[in-house]
């Protein structure tokens, strides 16, 4: 796997050569030992017209696995090229949740064709799942799970698993339902295997279990799977009937997507669900420009503050040179605090009720940070700017203005940085938006106001 990244160019050349020399059997033998995800990533680098050829060489089951891993553009191209029989074959091999993922990305006419060639039961399930809102547990669940009855013996259960198992997404956890499909318990394949053949399911199943609702947020569901170290979570409808399961592999994908979204929001980008190199210039532009415009407009207020203190700056021009340093340090302090708190919120480590503990902690951190930075600054101003560069304008009062501003700016920045995400969360906004760029804009204005206040006080201008 890790070797693959390096061997890939070589592999691609070999494939290209084998295709040109029409050595298809050899090509097939070369692909077979690879993992589906790796074959898909190789397919992505092939010429478009090669893809159907390579795809058709693969055995049915592997072909379906590869198909799932392809990008939606490539999937669409393949589907458009498929004969009806081929389409049906691939669809029959797919797990239901993967089919739903594919259907969600396809244009309407392709969806129609997919639904037409799915068997009626699958079609019904697909339509069911499509009804759930994006980002809900229902939208990522699969309906292919093993269901057992309380009255079965272990032997019955194992027989049932042997019979229906091949079509199930997982057999590692089995779900026990009653006549009205209410979920009443679950048990792992391990419990089943370690039990005696004539044990009764109702006696050995786990009756204390955690289930999620179809409309629960997919991120919360994924976090629960990770928190409790489960391999799957049952999904029930409002009447507590079992309708599907969410498996750990899907949960990992959700967590990964949500993290990317959070990171994008923290960097003032509207989240997108495509990989960077697959987005067009226009899409990237659209994701970035709204926040840039908004933040640019807010930053003009900072400019207004400078303008309104033009006289003070004219009286002590040396002050201008330290504006960037004060603004940048304030911004950095603020984003340290906000990013820490945002991550804490998304990991459920910090709740709104912790706000006073958070603020008290940030005050203490800000005081020591501010003092250290101010002290370092004072030494630098005196030794470098005054003694080394003989800057006569750098007097002790000027240095005092800069250092006092530093302490106050750090304090303000940390307070704004730690409290805004929590407040955003409280009023139902996304805390991730309250990250560096947003905080920086606020802190810039604050640091200038503090700076000019100290200048007026200490320099009498």
Locate 104 and state its tokens: 């969600």
Binding residue for its own copies (CB under 8 A) from 12, 25, 53, 220?
220
Three-state SS at 244: strand
The piece of 75-83, 109-117, 285-293, 420-428 that touches its own copies (CB under 8 A) is 285-293
Binding residue for its own copies (CB under 8 A) from 300, 356, 392, 428?
300
Binding residue for its own copies (CB under 8 A) from 115, 313, 433, 459?
313
Residue 81 lies near its own copies (rule: CB under 8 A):
no
Quick one: 34 or 184, whose CB is closer to its own copies? 34
The Cα–Cα gap between 206 and 370 comes to: 55
Task: Tell me whether residue 117 is exposed, middle or buried, using C-beta atoms within 10 angstroms of its C-beta: 0 to 12, 13 to 18, 19 or more.
Answer: buried
* CA distances in angstroms from 336 to 279, 294, 416, 437, listed in the order given: 30, 22, 11, 12
Parallel, antiparallel or unpaired: strands 183-188 and 173-177:
antiparallel
Residues in 327-356 at the binding interface with its own copies, rule: CB under 8 A = 327-329, 331-333, 335-336, 338-341, 343-344, 347, 349-351, 354
Residue 202 lies near its own copies (rule: CB under 8 A):
no
Binding residue for its own copies (CB under 8 A) from 277, 427, 428, 460?
277
Q: How far is the CB of 103 from its own copies (least distance, A)?
A: 20
Binding residue for its own copies (CB under 8 A) from 58, 205, 365, 404?
365
Quick one: 75 or 338, whose CB is closer to its own copies? 338
Residue 289 lies near its own copies (rule: CB under 8 A):
yes
Binding residue for its own copies (CB under 8 A) from 12, 259, 379, 383?
259
3-class SS string, 209-248: CCCEECCCEHHHHHHHHHHCCCCEEEEECCCCEEEEEEEH
Binding residue for its own copies (CB under 8 A) from 306, 312, 316, 433?
306
Q: How far apart are the first and last CA of the chain?
A: 67
Residue 292 lies near its own copies (rule: CB under 8 A):
yes
Burial 202-235 (b: 16+ CB within 10 A, else e): eebbeeebebbebebebbebbbbbeeeebebbbb
CB of 178 closer than 8 Å to CB of 193: no
Q: How far is the CB of 139 from its own copies (least distance, A)?
A: 17
Closest CA to 52 of 14, 30, 83: 83
Residue 373 lies near its own copies (rule: CB under 8 A):
yes
Residues in 114-173 at the binding interface with its own copies, rule: CB under 8 A = 158, 161-162, 165-166, 171-172
- Residue whose structure tokens are 């070589």: 10
Q: How far is the CB of 108 from its own copies (least distance, A)?
A: 29
């Amino acid at each position: 796997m890790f070797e693959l990244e390096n061997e890939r160019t070589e592999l691609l050349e070999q494939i290209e050569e084998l295709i040109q020399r029409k050595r298809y059997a050899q090509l097939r033998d070369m692909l077979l030992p690879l993992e589906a995800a790796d074959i898909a990533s190789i397919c992505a680098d092939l010429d478009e017209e090669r893809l159907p050829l390579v795809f058709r060489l693969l055995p049915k089951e592997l072909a379906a696995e590869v198909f799932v891993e392809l990008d939606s553009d490539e999937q669409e191209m393949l589907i458009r090229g498929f004969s009806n029989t081929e389409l049906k074959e691939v669809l029959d091999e797919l797990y239901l949740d993967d089919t739903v993922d594919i259907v969600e990305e396809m244009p309407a006419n392709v969806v129609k064709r997919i639904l037409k060639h799915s068997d009626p039961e699958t079609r019904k399930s697909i339509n069911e799942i499509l009804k759930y809102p994006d980002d809900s547990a229902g939208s990522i669940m699969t309906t292919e799970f093993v269901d057992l009855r309380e009255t079965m013996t272990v032997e019955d259960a194992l027989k049932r698993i042997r019979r229906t198992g091949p079509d199930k997404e997982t057999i590692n956890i089995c779900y026990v339902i009653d006549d009205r499909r209410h979920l009443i318990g679950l048990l792992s394949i391990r419990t089943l295997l370690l039990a005696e053949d004539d044990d009764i399911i109702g006696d050995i199943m786990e009756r204390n279990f955690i289930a999620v609702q179809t409309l629960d947020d997919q991120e919360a569901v994924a976090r629960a799977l990770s928190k409790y170290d489960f391999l799957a979570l049952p999904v029930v409808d409002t009447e507590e009937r079992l309708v599907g399961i969410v498996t750990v592999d899907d949960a990992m994908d959700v967590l990964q997507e949500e993290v990317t979204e959070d990171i994008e929001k923290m960097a003032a980008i509207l989240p997108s669900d495509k990989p960077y190199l697959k987005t067009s210039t226009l899409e990237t532009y659209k994701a970035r420009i709204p926040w840039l415009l908004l933040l640019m407009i807010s930053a003009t207020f900072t400019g207004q503050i400078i303008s309104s203190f033009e006289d003070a700056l004219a009286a002590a021009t040396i002050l201008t040179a330290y504006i960037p340093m004060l603004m940048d340090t304030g911004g950095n302090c603020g984003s340290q605090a906000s990013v820490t708190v945002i991550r804490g919120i998304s990991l459920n480590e910090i709740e709104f009720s912790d706000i006073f503990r958070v603020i008290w902690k940030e005050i203490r951190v800000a005081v020591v940070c501010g003092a250290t930075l101010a002290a370092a600054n004072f030494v630098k101003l005196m030794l470098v700017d005054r003694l080394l560069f003989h800057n006569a304008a750098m007097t002790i009062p000027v240095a005092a203005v800069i250092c006092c501003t530093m302490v106050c700016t750090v304090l303000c920045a940390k307070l704004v940085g730690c409290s805004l995400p929590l407040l955003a969360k409280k009023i139902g906004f996304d805390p991730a938006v309250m990250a560096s760029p947003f905080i920086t804009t606020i802190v810039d204005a604050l640091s200038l106001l503090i700076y000019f206040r100290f200048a007026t006080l200490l320099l009498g201008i």
